[in-house]
Amino acid sequence: MGQNLIFTNHVQEAINRLAGSDGHNLTVWIADVNTARYAPAEAHVITIPDGDENKTLSTACHLWDEMERMGVTRHSLIINLGGGMVTDLGGWAAATFKRGVRFINVPTTLLGAVDAAVGGKTGFNYNGLKNEIGAFAPASDVIISTRYFDTLPVQEMKSGFAEVIKHAMLSDREELLRLLDHDFNAPIDHDDLLERLQHSVQVKADIVARDPNEQGERKALNLGHTVGHAFESLAIHRGHPVPHGYAVAWGLVTEAVLSHMLLKFPSEDVHRLGNFVRDNYRYFPFTCDDYDDLLALMRHDKKSRDGEITCTLLAAIADYRIDQTVLPDNVTAALDILRDHLGM
Amino acid sequence: MGQNLIFTNHVQEAINRLAGSDGHNLTVWIADVNTARYAPAEAHVITIPDGDENKTLSTACHLWDEMERMGVTRHSLIINLGGGMVTDLGGWAAATFKRGVRFINVPTTLLGAVDAAVGGKTGFNYNGLKNEIGAFAPASDVIISTRYFDTLPVQEMKSGFAEVIKHAMLSDREELLRLLDHDFNAPIDHDDLLERLQHSVQVKADIVARDPNEQGERKALNLGHTVGHAFESLAIHRGHPVPHGYAVAWGLVTEAVLSHMLLKFPSEDVHRLGNFVRDNYRYFPFTCDDYDDLLALMRHDKKSRDGEITCTLLAAIADYRIDQTVLPDNVTAALDILRDHLGM
């Protein structure tokens, strides 16, 4: 994989150093309508619309066409400046143009920084299915910065923070407890947050380096996501989408409960996590009438096999077990406990 | 890279062994209108049109749509059965569907066997540019067989044979001399040809294994192609396309002449090669009025840089030098000699 991670709030300096190192004939930035303003004034910028509904083949074609028009070659450099949609689509377009142009990711959201920008997953939605077409193609470098976060809505910060919590659950109880003290109402402490990000992103990068193509261990990063994706899809079907990280937060609690039921994950940690999620992620209104739909969605998860529901579970913080089969009865029991805990 | 190469004329047995080894939930074949008949009667087959004009994003979308409809998952197996277009497009569709489904290439043409099917280059033409969009994505296995060649037109055999000659020029003078004795009018000796293929494909596979993403040594495989591609493009512009391998054959002679001029490649070997090409690949009618067009095309080669013409040249058989800059005057002198040699 060999993805170079740079943690800094001096982004342009870092880019200049990287871009100057390899005699590129042209540097092109890819941004969305919100992030294009962060590119330097004299930069060549391709701007795409924002919103998951535009994460499509048609937007990818627009990127290819513009790269062609600007004269991008195999010796050029692409800089993806934006959230997960920009790094997913821009990474895809760069990785497939002339079979691969070097690209750097500069995530501008917390969720992008701790999730999409690192690890080489690129692609787009197709035929109504999320990330159905794509490639494993790592950015040569990822520049992680908190400088774009001051203007992010708190909901966006919370959404990304759920993935930060996930990484701590996979690696370090002390870090997890520190995170569960976080106050979203306080102004951002950039030095501290950059340190938290350094810890968090490294957890992901280490796991990805050992299993770039998701044959085994990388599934650990799926913690909270089997159940979380089901919440996310149900919300979409209802016409009231929820932020990805909120669904993940509820998924993390549900899977922590499952971990307690099946692998004796300590109930103390279930409660700490549950309290933080209750206090910061307003609950998702569902009843036992939704259980069948949720179970069906879990069975159709991209990572499931033969119609069984599989999760990554924890025997303890940092002690993860991939490919755990859970029975529908386990799941419904865990959902009951989640609803209790969130006070539904 | 780790591409498993299997040389056999018992193709179905080999496929059964490979397909059975990994608990695939579904096997889907991709073929074109000519090769679909080689698939087993009970197979799930996606058929695409033939012809380079159909090597497009639209055909790739058709493959994705059909894979979706048939229920292909990450645990399925794709078998690409056909020439270079099927393995390039089928490999692309498999490599990008759900970020990667395992695929096996079964080339049915000599050119496919010695070139397209091995080495992981996949993709399609875009905006009128050949292989403009694509990915480096190796088939897990390539089954090389001569059993489909009996019904190939001799022109197709000759086209593929030019790449076989190229591989011998890069590796083994004795093998090259054996090849230059080949008689295209004789019926195919399957055992002998399979042995020649084994030698030839291994040359490519070894080079690709050392440099899968074409950062350096892989450019050796470009021997004959800087000039060859220019012939091929000129013929397309004139409305009279020539088979790829014919253009490569003329390119090999021209670049052998350049190698003699610049690196003292033995004139004896230039003549042996030139005679074989004169006798078997009818010449491409061009005059000195075409030189400027040919030079312009060489400067626009995907591998060129800063408008210079670069070739892979030989100091001797098996002693190749990549990234050799050649001057326009060298090229025109070599083209004069080629025209002389081919009796134009």
If you write DSSP's letter for every residue of A224-263 in order, what string do you get?
A: THHHHHHHHHHHHHTT----HHHHHHHHHHHHHHHHHHHH
B194 occurs within a structural domain: no
Please check whether residues B236 and B331 belong to one and the same domain: yes
* pLDDT of A86: 98
Please check whether residues B162 and B130 belong to one and the same domain: no
Final residue belonging to a domain, choices A124, A152, A180: A152
Task: Specify the 3-state DSSP secondary structure of B24.
Answer: coil
B296 occurs within a structural domain: yes
Please check whether residues A143 and A161 belong to one and the same domain: no
Query: Any bridge partners for residue A107, and if so which?
Result: A82
* pLDDT of A180: 97
State whether residue A235 sits within 8 Å of chain B by CB: no
Pairing status of strand A121-126 against strand B44-48: unpaired
Residues of chain B with pLDDT under 70: 1-2, 302
How far is CA B329 from each of CA A88, A340, B234, B254, B342, rounded to the nearest angstrom? 46, 83, 19, 13, 20
B191 occurs within a structural domain: no
Helices B190-210 and B154-169 pack at an angle, to 10 degrees, of 50
User: B135, A302: Cβ pair inside 8 Å?
Assistant: no
Report how many domains make up chain B: 2
Please check whether residues A161 and A304 belong to one and the same domain: yes
B292 occurs within a structural domain: yes
How far is CA A314 from each of CA A204, A244, A304, rounded to the nearest angstrom? 16, 21, 18
Task: Specify the 3-state DSSP secondary structure of B266.
Answer: coil
Across the interface, of B68, B127, B214, the residue whose CB is closest to A68 is B127
B192 occurs within a structural domain: no
Question: Among A154, A162, A164, A150, which residue's Cα sits nearest to residue A277?
Answer: A162
How far is CA B72 from each of CA A45, A323, B46, rounded to the nearest angstrom? 37, 20, 12
Query: Is the distance from CB of B111 to CB of B84 less than 8 angstroms?
Result: yes
Q: pLDDT tens for residues B191-202? A: 999 999 999 999
Q: How far is A142 from chain B (nearest CA, A)?
A: 21
- Catalytic hit among A42, A53, A69, A99: A99
Across the interface, of B64, B127, B213, the residue whose CB is closest to A133 is B64
B92 occurs within a structural domain: yes
Band of residue A300 on the pLDDT scale cut at 50, 70, 90: confident
Please check whether residues A35 and A181 belong to one and the same domain: no
| CATH, residue A96 | 3.40.50.1970
Pairing status of strand A141-144 against strand A4-7: parallel
Q: How far is B177 from chain A (nearest CA, A)?
A: 35
| CATH, residue B277 | 1.20.1090.10
Band of residue A296 on the pLDDT scale cut at 50, 70, 90: very high
Q: How far is A121 from chain B (nearest CA, A)?
A: 8
Q: Which residues in B16-37 are b (16+ Cβ under 10 Å) and which e?
A: eebbeeeebeebbbbbbebbbe
* pLDDT of B21: 72
Query: Is the distance from CB of B82 to CB of B37 less than 8 angstroms?
Result: no
Q: pLDDT tens for residues A44-81? A: 999 999 998 999 999 999 999 999 999 999 889 999 99
Please check whether residues B37 and B71 belong to one and the same domain: yes
Q: Is the dihedral of CA B101, B104, B108, B113 positive or negative?
A: positive
State whether residue A22 sits within 8 Å of chain B by CB: no
Q: How far is A290 from chain B (nearest CA, A)?
A: 26
- Catalytic hit among A80, A105, A125, A222: A222
User: B135, A96: Cβ pair inside 8 Å?
Assistant: yes
Mutate to test the interface with B, among A22, A72, A74, A96 (most CBs of B within 10 A): A96
User: A127, B65: Cβ pair inside 8 Å?
Assistant: yes
Please check whether residues B131 and B223 belong to one and the same domain: no
* pLDDT of B285: 80
- Catalytic hit among A244, A255, A260, A341: A244
Please check whether residues A25 and A72 belong to one and the same domain: yes
Q: How many CB atoms lie within 10 A of CB A47?
A: 18
Question: Among A339, A323, A328, A200, which residue's Cα sits nearest to residue A278?
Answer: A339
- Percent of chain A with pLDDT strictly greater than 70: 98
Residues of chain A with Cβ-Cβ distance to B305 below 8 Å are: 25, 75
Residue A25 is given by DSSP the state: S
- Residues 206-225, chain B: which have Cβ within 8 Å of A? 213-214
Q: In the annotation, is A182 catalytic? A: no
Task: Specify the 3-state DSSP secondary structure of A85.
Answer: helix
User: B305, A134: Cβ pair inside 8 Å?
Assistant: no
Q: Model-level pTM?
A: 0.91
B144 occurs within a structural domain: yes
Final residue belonging to a domain, choices A134, A152, A170: A152
Mutate to test the interface with B, among A58, A68, A76, A133 (most CBs of B within 10 A): A133
Query: Any bridge partners for residue A143, and if so which?
Result: A6
Q: pLDDT tens for residues A265-286? A: 999 999 999 999 999 998 678 8
Q: How many CB atoms lie within 10 A of CB A83?
A: 26
Note whether ipTM > 0.95 here.
no
Please check whether residues B124 and B164 belong to one and the same domain: no
* pLDDT of B275: 95
Query: Is the distance from CB of B99 to CB of A92 less than 8 angstroms?
Result: no
* pLDDT of A193: 97
* pLDDT of A323: 94
State whether residue A61 sits within 8 Å of chain B by CB: yes
* pLDDT of A325: 95
Band of residue A10 on the pLDDT scale cut at 50, 70, 90: very high
User: B99, A126: Cβ pair inside 8 Å?
Assistant: no
Higher pLDDT pick, A305 / B210: B210
Residues of chain B with Cβ-Cβ distance to A121 below 8 Å are: 99
Question: Catalytic positions of B, please?
Answer: 99, 121, 163, 204, 214, 218, 222, 225, 229, 244
Determine the longest span between alpha carbons in chain B, in angstroms.
60
**Residue A130, domain extent:** 4-152
Give the separation between CA B292 and CA B224, rounded to whole angstroms: 19
Please check whether residues B252 and B314 belong to one and the same domain: yes
Q: pLDDT tens for residues A129-187? A: 889 999 999 999 999 999 999 999 999 999 999 999 999 999 999 999 999 999 999 99
State whether residue B7 sits within 8 Å of chain A by CB: no
Give the count of Cβ contacts less than 8 A between chain A and B.
73
Give the separation between CA B200 and CA A109, rounded to whole angstroms: 51
Question: Among A12, A13, A7, A15, which residue's Cα sits nearest to residue A194?
Answer: A7
* pLDDT of A286: 86
* pLDDT of A133: 97
State whether residue A134 sits within 8 Å of chain B by CB: yes
Final residue belonging to a domain, choices A122, A152, A182: A152
Tracing tokens 């004169």 back to the chain, one arrives at: B278
Please check whether residues A146 and A159 belong to one and the same domain: no
Q: In the annotation, is A214 catalytic? A: yes
Q: How far is B99 from chain A (nearest CA, A)?
A: 5
User: B133, A64: Cβ pair inside 8 Å?
Assistant: yes
- Residues 68-97, chain B: which have Cβ within 8 Å of A? 68, 74-75, 95-97
* pLDDT of A329: 96
Task: Specify the 3-state DSSP secondary structure of B106.
Answer: strand
Q: pLDDT tens for residues B302-330? A: 677 778 999 999 999 999 999 999 999 99
Question: What's the full length of chain A, in residues?
Answer: 344
State whether residue A127 sits within 8 Å of chain B by CB: yes
User: B99, A68: Cβ pair inside 8 Å?
Assistant: no
Tracing tokens 């003292």 back to the chain, one arrives at: B264
Across the interface, of B121, B127, B135, the residue whose CB is closest to A95 is B135
pLDDT at A1 over 70: no
Q: Is B255 exposed, middle or buried (0-12, 13-18, 19+ CB in 10 A)?
A: buried
Residues of chain A with Cβ-Cβ distance to B123 below 8 Å are: 96, 99
Q: How many CB atoms lie within 10 A of CB B292?
A: 11
State whether residue A133 sits within 8 Å of chain B by CB: yes
Across the interface, of B25, B100, B123, the residue whose CB is closest to A213 is B100
Give the separation between CA B172 and CA B317, rounded to whole angstroms: 7
Please check whether residues A182 and A327 belong to one and the same domain: yes
